[in-house]
Each structure stands twice: as structure tokens, then as C-alpha cells.
């Protein structure tokens, strides 16, 4: 019998596949739940993972379960019901939610899991599928201190930058702050690029000048890799997911009684793109939509050097 705990993973998509692969390659027994996209599931099974049919079955077989899902309703759906995690939970089970979720949902699920003798950890992610495959993601962790110590070796399989930020729910709060920054960057970069084009400053010039200054950063680089260089895969994160994260951040601000003018404006840009049928576009493509609002064809402008 392996001395390592058995790890479950629900959500082996763009981010989850690489994370699960790295857990498996670190020698942990891995149990996964498949979905409609069979390619990553079959790849992991081919490497030694075991597939199960329900979250309940996973909870009955695993010591630690990872979730890597799109939103809070999806997270709730795998916990509840006759085939949910709670139906199969037993004392000692740890669930690590790597989704970007609503902190209030996290706290409610932690309480429900606690009644079954389990523990909740929120460990949302930073960076992209590239880093997920490499095992160098960022994560901000909300957990009791002793639970964090228990799961840290597992987190280290897929994260290169691990920050324990507080108790359960605090990881998701920190992630909402992080994604509010990144999505506000996206709105700002899109607006500035369009404004530059309107006044005769080519997008390539904005990319060069800002990118080589102290205002440059990794997010700027990937955003402009699409806006200027037209690399569609520069940052595989959808506008729909970005909009959801900013919506959660706005709700968090409202509950705290905090002023959130930038958050509100950022959300309007994202919801505009959703409303015109582009929810599945990647976030850097927001530049095209903001440019069109300004009467600018960004692809044409990006060709100017």
C-alpha cells in the first residue's frame, strides 16, 4: 500500500489537467472524475489515474479531493445531492477548492463538510495553463494552520508560489482582489490601446513603450501579445470567467460597504462583451471590442509599425 494519501481531482480542464498530472508524477495515487472533454481524462488514465463516476465515490475512496471548476454553483453541485461529496464524506477528508469562487459559498460548504468530520481548504490559482503543466502556479491558501501544514506537500506538486493568507475563505477573498486587478488591467489596456489608435499612436508603439517601462508586467505582455501580435492563445482565460470574478468582487465590496468604482466600470466592459455574444473570447480579446466601440479596427491598427 502506498504511504502517500490518495488524491481526487474534479475538473481536469485547461488548468486541472496539468495540476493532476503533476500530482500523479509526484507519486500520489490519483482518482479523477471525467467530463465531456475526454482527451485530458484519457491522458491521465493512461498515466495511471483511476476514473470514478461520481463525487460521492471519490469521497469514499480519497483522502484529499481537489476541485478546479468555473464558478460557485458548479462547486456547490459537486458537494450536494445523493452523488455529491457530502454523501460520501468521512472524518478526515480534506477538500481543496482551487476554483475562483464566492467566499460565502466556501464558508457554507466548509461548515457542511465539518459536520461530516472533514476540512475545507480554498486554494485558488494564479497564472495560466502553461504554468499548470509546468507545476509552477501561484496559489493563495485559506485554511486552518494544521490543515495547511498537512496539504502543503500536495500543493507543492503543482504550485511554485504558495501563500497561506488566513483561514477558510480568505484564499478566495484574496483571489477576487487579484482578479479584480487583472481584469481592471485588461479594461485599462484595452481603453488605452484604442485611445492611442484614435490619436495616432499605433498599438505596437504602446506595447513597446509601456512594456519597456516600469509600468510593464507579465499581464501587460500577454494582453498585448494578442492586441498587437494577434496571438489568440496568449492568455487562455475567458471573458465569461473574468466577468464572474469581478461580479463576485463587487458583491464582496457591497457586503463590506466598500467603495468600488473601478470594479463597477471594469464589469461593464466585460458584460458588454458577454452581451454581444463574446463570453467565450479570451480576456485579451476585450481589446477588439473596446476598439470597435471607438470606431477602431484594432487588427488593422496593429499592423502599423
CATH code at 283?
Answer: 1.10.1040.10
Tell me, yes or no, whether 46 and 195 share the same domain: no
Grid cell, residue 290, equals: 473596446
Tell me, yes or no, whether 137 and 277 share the same domain: no
pLDDT given for residue 35 in this prediction: 78
Tell me, yes or no, whether 158 and 180 share the same domain: no
Q: Is residue 267 in a domain? A: yes
Domain finish residue from 127, 151, 166:
166
pLDDT given for residue 1 in this prediction: 35
Alpha helix stretches (DSSP H) within the chain: 16-25, 38-46, 55-61, 72-79, 85-88, 103-115, 129-134, 145-155, 170-198, 203-211, 218-227, 239-256, 261-275, 286-293, 298-302
Nearest Cα neighbor of 67 from 83, 55, 56, 57 is 55
Domain finish residue from 166, 188, 206:
166
Tell me, yes or no, whether 161 and 177 share the same domain: no
Four-CA torsion 164, 165, 166, 169, nearest 10 degrees = -110
pLDDT given for residue 86 in this prediction: 98
Domain interval for residue 264: 173-302
CATH, residue 158: 3.40.50.720
Tell me, yes or no, whether 41 and 59 share the same domain: yes
Q: Is residue 1 in a domain? A: no
Q: Is residue 274 in a domain? A: yes
Tell me, yes or no, whether 205 and 126 share the same domain: no
- Side-chain half-sphere exposure of 202, counting CA atoms within 13 A: 12
The number of distinct structural domains making up the chain is: 2
pLDDT given for residue 298 in this prediction: 96
Tell me, yes or no, whether 152 and 225 share the same domain: no
Q: Is residue 2 in a domain? A: no
Nearest Cα neighbor of 248 from 105, 66, 127 is 105
Tell me, yes or no, whether 226 and 109 share the same domain: no
Tell me, yes or no, whether 23 and 159 share the same domain: yes
- Which residues belong to the active site? 175
Tell me, yes or no, whether 108 and 51 share the same domain: yes
Which string of DSSP letters, residue by residue, matches 82-151? TTSHHHH--TT-EEEE-S---HHHHHHHHHHHHHTT-EEEE--EES-HHHHHHT-EEEEEE--HHHHHHH
pLDDT given for residue 100 in this prediction: 94
Tell me, yes or no, whether 160 and 193 share the same domain: no
- pLDDT tens sequence for the chain (305 residues): 358 999 999 999 989 999 999 999 999 999 999 777 889 999 999 999 999 999 999 999 999 999 999 999 999 999 999 999 999 999 999 999 999 999 999 999 999 999 999 999 999 999 989 999 999 999 999 999 999 999 999 999 999 999 999 999 999 999 999 999 999 999 999 999 999 999 999 999 999 999 999 999 999 999 999 999 999 999 999 999 999 999 999 999 999 999 999 999 999 999 999 999 999 999 999 999 999 999 999 999 999 87
Domain finish residue from 166, 194, 213:
166
pLDDT given for residue 210 in this prediction: 98
Amino acid at each position: 500500500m502506498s504511504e502517500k494519501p490518495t488524491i481526487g481531482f474534479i475538473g481536469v480542464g485547461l488548468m486541472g489537467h496539468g495540476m493532476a498530472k503533476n500530482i500523479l508524477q509526484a507519486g500520489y495515487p490519483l482518482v479523477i472524475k471525467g467530463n465531456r472533454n475526454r482527451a485530458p481524462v484519457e491522458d491521465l488514465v493512461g498515466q495511471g489515474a483511476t476514473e470514478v463516476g461520481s463525487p460521492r465515490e471519490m469521497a469514499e475512496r480519497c483522502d484529499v479531493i481537489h476541485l478546479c471548476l468555473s464558478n460557485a454553483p458548479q462547486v456547490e453541485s459537486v458537494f450536494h445531492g445523493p452523488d455529491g461529496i457530502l454523501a460520501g464524506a468521512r472524518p478526515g477528508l480534506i477538500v481543496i477548492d482551487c476554483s475562483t469562487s464566492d467566499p460565502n459559498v466556501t464558508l457554507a460548504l466548509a461548515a457542511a463538510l465539518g459536520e461530516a468530520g472533514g476540512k475545507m481548504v480554498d486554494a485558488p490559482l494564479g497564472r495560466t495553463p502553461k504554468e499548470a503543466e509546468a507545476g509552477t502556479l501561484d496559489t493563495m491558501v485559506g485554511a486552518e494552520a494544521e490543515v495547511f501544514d498537512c496539504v502543503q506537500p500536495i500543493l507543492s506538486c503543482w504550485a511554485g508560489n504558495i501563500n497561506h493568507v488566513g483561514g477558510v475563505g480568505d484564499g478566495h477573498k484574496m483571489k477576487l482582489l487579484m482578479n479584480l486587478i487583472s481584469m481592471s488591467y485588461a479594461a485599462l489596456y484595452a481603453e488605452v490601446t484604442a485611445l492611442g489608435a484614435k490619436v495616432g499612436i499605433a498599438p505596437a508603439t504602446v506595447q513597446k513603450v509601456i512594456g519597456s517601462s516600469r509600468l510593464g508586467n507579465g499581464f501587460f505582455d500577454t494582453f498585448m501579445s494578442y492586441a498587437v501580435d494577434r496571438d489568440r492563445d496568449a492568455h487562455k482565460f475567458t471573458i465569461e470567467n473574468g466577468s464572474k470574478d469581478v461580479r463576485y468582487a463587487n458583491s464582496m465590496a457591497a457586503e463590506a460597504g466598500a467603495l468600488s468604482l473601478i470594479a463597477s466600470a471594469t464589469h461593464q466592459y466585460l458584460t458588454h462583451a458577454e452581451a454581444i455574444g463574446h463570453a467565450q473570447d479570451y480576456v485579451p480579446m476585450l481589446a477588439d471590442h473596446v476598439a470597435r466601440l471607438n470606431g477602431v479596427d484594432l487588427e488593422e491598427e496593429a499592423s502599423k509599425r
